[in-house]
C-alpha cells in the first residue's frame, strides 16, 4: 500500500459555529480507511497542547490494547442489560495498526492520531472514527462515531471524513476496557465543539496493562491457550445476536400461523353458506 504524507491543510470541520478549526496531515489513506494527525489550526491553541508524542509502540502491543477497548451501550431503565461490545474487530485492527504505529512515531506534541474506518452496510456505509493520544503516560482513546450508518458521499460522511473526532449522533454508550481495573476515567469529549453530540473518551493505564499481560504467572498472558476475556466477550455477543435472531424468526412464524388461522376461519362460513350442488347419478 502506498504511504502518503500530505502537508498540513486546514480542514473545514467543526460542530456548528462553536467548533474549532483543525489541520490534518495524512499518514496513510486507502479507499475505505485512513490514519492521520490532527491539530488545532490556531497556532496559540496548538502550542498549548502537550502530548507525549512522538511515541513508539510495537504492533503486538497496539493489537493487544485496541482489542480490549469496549463500548457499554446506554439502555432504558426497563431494558435488559447487554454485555459491552468490542470497538475494534480483528478485521479493523489488521490494516489500522501498522498505520497507527507510524502515526505515533511521527506525531508532534500538539497532534492527535486520528482514524476513519468505513464498511459497506446495505445501501450505505457503517463508519467508526475517533482518535488517540498519550498524555501523562496514559493512553487516551476517543471514539466519536461507532458503526454510524450514513450514505456514501452524504454531508455526514464527508464531515466525519474531514474530522474523525466529530460525532454525528454520539456513540450511544460509554467506553470501558477489559480488564476494567486499568481504566483511569471514562468521560464525554467535546473537543470538536459544544453544539451537537459529544464523543466518548477513555483514559487507560496501558503501561500497567501491558506489564501485567507480559509478566509470567500473571492473571492473563498473550500466549495462554485459554480464551481471553475479549474472546469470551465476542462469543457472548455472537450468542446474544443469534438469540435475538431466533426470537425474531419465532415471532415471525407465530404471526404467520395466526394469519393462517384467521384466513381459515373466514373461509369456513363461506364454504358452508354455499354448499356444492348434488352430483347427477352416472348411468
**pTM surpassing 0.85?**
no
Domain tally, the chain: 2
* Per-residue confidence band for 1, with pLDDT thresholds at 50, 70 and 90: very low
Residue 274 lies in a domain: no
- Residues 131, 23 within the same domain: yes
Domain span at 238 = 226-256
Within this chain, do residues 39 and 79 fall inside the same structural domain, yes or no?
Answer: yes
Regarding whether 246 and 152 lie in a shared domain, the answer is: no
Whether residue 278 lies inside any domain: the answer is: no
Q: Which of 52-56, 91-95, 225-229 has the lowest mean pLDDT?
A: 225-229
Same domain membership, residue 207 and residue 107: yes
If asked whether residues 122 and 88 sit together in one domain, one would say yes
Beta strands in 122-165 (DSSP E): 124-135, 138-150
> Is residue 182 assigned to a domain?
yes
Cα–Cα distance measured from residue 34 to residue 148, given in angstroms and rounded to the nearest whole number: 16
pLDDT in tens, 151-184: 888 888 888 989 999 999 888 899 999 999 999 9
What's the pLDDT score for residue 17? 43
Q: How far apart are CA 39 and CA 24, in angstroms?
A: 6
Q: Is residue 263 part of a domain?
A: no
240 and 141 assigned to the same domain: no
SS3 of residue 249 by DSSP: helix
pLDDT at 247: 73
Amino acid at each position: 500500500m502506498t504511504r502518503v504524507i500530505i502537508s498540513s491543510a486546514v480542514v473545514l470541520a467543526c460542530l456548528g459555529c462553536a467548533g474549532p478549526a483543525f489541520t490534518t496531515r495524512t499518514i496513510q489513506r486507502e479507499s475505505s480507511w485512513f490514519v492521520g494527525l490532527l491539530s488545532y489550526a490556531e497556532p496559540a491553541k496548538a502550542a498549548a497542547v502537550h502530548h507525549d508524542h512522538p511515541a513508539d509502540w510495537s504492533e503486538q502491543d497496539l493489537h493487544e490494547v485496541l482489542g480490549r477497548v469496549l463500548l457499554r451501550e446506554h439502555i432504558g431503565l426497563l431494558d435488559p442489560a447487554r454485555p459491552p461490545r468490542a470497538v475494534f474487530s480483528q478485521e479493523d485492527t489488521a490494516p489500522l495498526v501498522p498505520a497507527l504505529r507510524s502515526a505515533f512515531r511521527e506525531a508532534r506534541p500538539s497532534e492527535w492520531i486520528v482514524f476513519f474506518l468505513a464498511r459497506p452496510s446495505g445501501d450505505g456505509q457503517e463508519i467508526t472514527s475517533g482518535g488517540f493520544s498519550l498524555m501523562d503516560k496514559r493512553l487516551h482513546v476517543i471514539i466519536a462515531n461507532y458503526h454510524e450508518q450514513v450514505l456514501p458521499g452524504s454531508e455526514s460522511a464527508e464531515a466525519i471524513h474531514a474530522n474523525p473526532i466529530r460525532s454525528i449522533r454520539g456513540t450511544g454508550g460509554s467506553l470501558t476496557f477489559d480488564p476494567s481495573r486499568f481504566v483511569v476515567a471514562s468521560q464525554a469529549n467535546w473537543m470538536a465543539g459544544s453544539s451537537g453530540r459529544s464523543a466518548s473518551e477513555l483514559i487507560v493505564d496501558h503501561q500497567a496493562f501491558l506489564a501485567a499481560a507480559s509478566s509470567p504467572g500473571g492473571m492473563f498472558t498473550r500466549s495462554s491457550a485459554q480464551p481471553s476475556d475479549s474472546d469470551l466477550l465476542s462469543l457472548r455477543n455472537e450468542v446474544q445476536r443469534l438469540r435475538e435472531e431466533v426470537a425474531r424468526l419465532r415471532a415471525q412464524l407465530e404471526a404467520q400461523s395466526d394469519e393462517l388461522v384467521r384466513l381459515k376461519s373466514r373461509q369456513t362460513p363461506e364454504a358452508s353458506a354455499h354448499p356444492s350442488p348434488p352430483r347427477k347419478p352416472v348411468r
